[in-house]
Structure 1
Amino acid sequence: MTPHEAFDSMRDQWLTGPGALSGAGLADDVVVEWPFAAPGRPRRIEGREAFLAFAGPERAALPLRIDACDVRTVHDTTDPATIVVEYSLTATALATGRRATADFITVLTVHDGKVTHLREYQDTMKMTAALPSNG
């Protein structure tokens, strides 16, 4: 799996709904980072099992349905194992039907066909505003 294929796989998972995460595309020692995580949220998780233990319940409880992923730009880097993807996600709040869009940038590294590092920069203010409890 290339970095481009890894991102395509992630996008497909987002758009197919909150099914179980298998972690099949993640290296055992994957590092996942959210440098601008909201207060109380992890900024870094190390290891596939730790990530799945966190992300599985989070995904199952997500009060949103992701409707679209608009990839604006994919930047190849000088390291062929790493890409930078600029995109937006549009989602609908399940409780209210309200739609919102938030912007993201992901730095994705793949070695031996598995994601070894993912760093995601999120528009946390838009994401928080989109949650049903906020309006």
Structure 2
Amino acid sequence: MSVHTAPADLFRHGLQLLLDKNIPAWVDLWAEDGQMEFPFAPDGWPKRLADKEAIAAYMRPYPDHIDLHDFPDVTIHQTTDSETIVVEMRGVGRLVQTDSPFDMTYIAVVTVRDGRFAFYRDYWNPLAVSEPGTDFVSSSR
């Protein structure tokens, strides 16, 4: 991605990499000092990932837990800050361990700096994937 990549384009590209299960390429979209926050994280889950290395460690096992099939609903809102977008989206797929359906609605506030993700506040509900018999909650923190 070039330094002139619009935040919405970078975000859409990142979604495709997640669907392709290409976590290393998705992590490469991040600034070295990029940060992720999870305001609704329950006890025992990270509330903040402080840099690209922490984000990579957090995301590395993601495809082992959630098999994403599609993002059927993605709405990207521009803000008064040209580097920040607000995204409403829905991800669907299956939970790998139980083969149960996965259907999650997200809202994210994303800031891009120099063509890389610099800040990503992820408003998703981790309890929605903590069904009995799944190990996602204990394995992905």
Superposition TM-score tier, normalisation by shorter sequence? 0.7 to 0.9
Partners of 2:105 and 2:53 lie apart in 1 by 27
Question: Which of residues 90, 93, 96 in structure 2 aligns to 1:91?
Answer: 93
Partners of 2:120 and 2:15 lie apart in 1 by 14
Return closer, same or farther for 1:54/1:3 CA change in 2, 3 Å cut-off: same
Structure 1 counterpart of 2:138: none
Which structure 1 segments of 5+ residues have no match? none
CA deviations on 1:11-45 (whole Å, 9 max, x unpaired) are 1122112x442422111110111111132110101
Structure 2 counterpart of 1:49: 53
Over aligned residue pairs, what C-alpha RMSD do you find?
A: 2.0
TM-score (norm 1): 0.84
Which structure 2 segments of 5+ residues have no match? 136-141
Structure 2 counterpart of 1:81: 83
Check conservation: 1:63, 1:132, Cα contact below 8 A: no
What fraction of aligned residue pairs are identical, expressed as a percent? 26
Relative to structure 2, which stretch is displaced further, 90-99 or 107-116?
90-99
Check conservation: 2:69, 2:93, Cα contact below 8 A: yes
TM-score (norm 2): 0.80
Partners of 2:70 and 2:23 lie apart in 1 by 19
